[in-house]
Structure 1
Amino acid sequence: MTAAPEVAVRECAELGEGPTWDPASERLIWVDILSARVHTYHPSTGRRTVMATGQHVGAAKPRAGGGLAVVLRDGIGLYDAAGAFTWLVHDPVPGRRGNDAAVAPDGALWAGSMRYDEAVGGGTLSRIAPDGTVTCALDAVTVSNGTGWGPDGRLMYYIDTPTRRVDVFDVDGERVTGRRPFVLAEHGPGWPDGLTVDAEGCVWVAFWDGAALRRYTPDGRLDRVVELPVRRPTACAFGGPGLRDLYVSTARTGLDLPHPLSGSLLVLPDAGQGLPGVPFAG
């Protein structure tokens, strides 16, 4: 039985996204895309930081040598441990921005993009190697969202939100092949957004406009629904001591009467067992 959600950080993020646990600093990293800010939170002390990026920021991931990799409107940026910024990939496309991202077991960054007007097929999903080499894996994505890998690294899960599916790929070295539906979410409330995979190989999915997280077994069976007090959860990630707590980012954008906790970072204590994350190797 999963514990009821609690408030980790009360915030009014417009579009909170991408919670990521950084084990090196024992902190939770997440972003507010539309406010162009990267947030961090140390559960052991309650310490918080907020950093402005100057551009809409779809994701922020820890780097192996310290600092952050950020998925910005105009490409992939790097902050070093001292806070100095450089571009790893600078590829501005009018009307397009970066969105959700994840780091693969091999240390590569998989970053999505989307059109501001959400035009069908206007986004991409790309693999960014540590040296900045970009390989486009999918070139007809609409709203690129959740990406994650199974415990043995042989499967990759992926969400293009308007499809109302969670898809799964076979991992073949640096490539993914054999795309097929893992979960069809056509009839439930909400739209699949961000995801994380736990140590049992189950896939947790945040449902935008669905006010819930849903957990699916490795064979695609729905086995748990966690109702949330907010209408627009966006993504989830395990963190905290032993990777037992499940953190949930939320949004308030587009809501006429948002719940008071919309935009806050929520946590489900002792929700399960997460997988250790990998920092970006670049």
Structure 2
Amino acid sequence: MTPVRFSDHSSVLAEGPMWDHRTDTLYWVDIDAGALWAKRSGHPSRKLYEDADYLCGVWLADNGGFIIAGGAGLHVLNAEGAPLAHPLATPQIGANMRLNDGGIDPQGRLVIGTMGREEPDFAQPLGALYRLSADGAIETLVEGLTISNGVGWSPDGRTLYLADTIKKRILIIAYGTLDGPIEADGCTAIALDGLPDGLCVSADGSLLVAMITAGQIIRLSPTGEVLETLPLPVSCPTACCFGGSDFKMLFITTSTHLLPPDHDEADAGFVLSLMDAGQGRPETPFRTGLTS
């Protein structure tokens, strides 16, 4: 299995890949550029949306469009990438913090984490994980995180997996009974040798985790056993998701933001694709209650 380029341009900090099975399109964000990108196989990449500050994630919504998160908060977009009139309620997180990675839970709610805006705060337990509904309800689920990163659920929806990057761990949380806030240090955790970034969960329940700075994706069992290591031609994979017509294609976002200006990684910053890395599943859309 050899990864190949999927996108036709390099990003500074590509993140948050999301496959839209409704249109067979991959979406991702370039965080530092504040850009939302889209690409179908055989078609050029196109920029759909920009945020003057940053964009950290994009997810399906049940109106045929998307939810985006960034410096301007949380917004619902229509299918063409135009924001609708009503922004979603956003957690009050403080000027030194920002939203980061997230996912849509089996009930159609957005679960999203936070991190410090500046590197001195990255290792501090200032991050938290929140759950948001279209009706404006906001719940704090987990506190005491460093960089709250990859979010995913077991196939039965009962277990939440959450990457706590600087602590080099993935938290395993009983989601069906989660009544937060709980402390990150009190959770069951998978200890890792490197820094976990984004993740996705296969149909068989195994986890695929992008190990930023380590140049690989690792496959973990639900209890944390390393089942497989997938080497990559770049140092900094940031996240991954399954897609394609049969959900057997793994899409991997990558970054140049930690590399020196004279780096020689030709594929750095591109979205890569990898065949036969497992079997994925369609994403649950956010329940907006909107029809267009």
- TM-score scaled by structure 1? 0.92
The Cα shift of 1:175 comes to 4.0
Q: In the alignment, is the contact (CA less than 8 A) between 2:75 and 2:83 conserved in 1?
A: no
Structure 2 residue 59 is matched with structure 1 residue 55: no
Q: In the alignment, is the contact (CA less than 8 A) between 2:111 and 2:129 conserved in 1?
A: yes
Match of residue 84 from structure 1: 83
Q: CA 1:34–1:106 in 2, change beyond 3 Å: closer, same or farther? A: same
The Cα shift of 1:213 comes to 0.2
Match of residue 239 from structure 2: 235
Taking the aligned partners of 1:40 and 1:14, their CA distance within structure 2 comes to: 16
Match of residue 159 from structure 2: 155
Q: In the alignment, is the contact (CA less than 8 A) between 1:10 and 1:261 conserved in 2?
A: no
Taking the aligned partners of 1:97 and 1:103, their CA distance within structure 2 comes to: 19
* Structure 2: tracts of 5 or more residues without a match: none
Taking the aligned partners of 1:128 and 1:271, their CA distance within structure 2 comes to: 31
Match of residue 185 from structure 1: 192
Taking the aligned partners of 1:141 and 1:277, their CA distance within structure 2 comes to: 25
Match of residue 253 from structure 2: 249
The count of aligned residue pairs is: 275
Cα-to-partner distance string for 1:161-201 (whole Å, 9 max, x where unaligned): 011011111122564778201x2113xxx411111000110
3-state DSSP of counterpart to 1:65: coil
The Cα shift of 1:219 comes to 3.0
Letter in 1 for 2:143: D
Taking the aligned partners of 2:4 and 2:23, their CA distance within structure 1 comes to: 22
Q: In the alignment, is the contact (CA less than 8 A) between 1:107 and 1:130 conserved in 2?
A: no
Structure 2 residue 226 is matched with structure 1 residue 222: yes
Cα-to-partner distance string for 1:73-115 (whole Å, 9 max, x where unaligned): 2531222335134421244731221111111111101111111
Q: Which one has a larger percent strand, Structure 1 or Structure 2? A: 1
Cα-to-partner distance string for 1:126-161 (whole Å, 9 max, x where unaligned): 001122211111232221100100111111100110
Which one of the candidate residues 278, 284, 287 is aligned to 1:278? 284
Letter in 2 for 1:276: P
Which one of the candidate residues 14, 19, 22 is aligned to 1:21? 19
Taking the aligned partners of 1:273 and 1:180, their CA distance within structure 2 comes to: 26
Q: In the alignment, is the contact (CA less than 8 A) between 1:238 and 1:273 conserved in 2?
A: yes
Taking the aligned partners of 1:39 and 1:92, their CA distance within structure 2 comes to: 26
Match of residue 199 from structure 2: 195
Structure 2 residue 98 is matched with structure 1 residue 131: no
Taking the aligned partners of 2:89 and 2:22, their CA distance within structure 1 comes to: 25
- TM-score scaled by structure 2? 0.89
Which one of the candidate residues 1, 5, 8 is aligned to 1:7? 5
Q: In the alignment, is the contact (CA less than 8 A) between 1:147 and 1:159 conserved in 2?
A: yes
Farther off after superposition, 229-238 or 128-137: 128-137
Q: In the alignment, is the contact (CA less than 8 A) between 1:202 and 1:218 conserved in 2?
A: yes
Cα-to-partner distance string for 1:252-281 (whole Å, 9 max, x where unaligned): 003113312111000101221002211111
Taking the aligned partners of 2:44 and 2:267, their CA distance within structure 1 comes to: 19
Taking the aligned partners of 1:121 and 1:37, their CA distance within structure 2 comes to: 28
Structure 2 residue 267 is matched with structure 1 residue 267: no
The Cα shift of 1:27 comes to 0.8
Q: CA 1:199–1:33 in 2, change beyond 3 Å: closer, same or farther? A: same
CA-atom RMSD in angstroms: 1.8
Q: In the alignment, is the contact (CA less than 8 A) between 1:28 and 1:40 conserved in 2?
A: yes
The Cα shift of 1:209 comes to 0.3
Taking the aligned partners of 2:44 and 2:247, their CA distance within structure 1 comes to: 19
Taking the aligned partners of 2:170 and 2:99, their CA distance within structure 1 comes to: 20
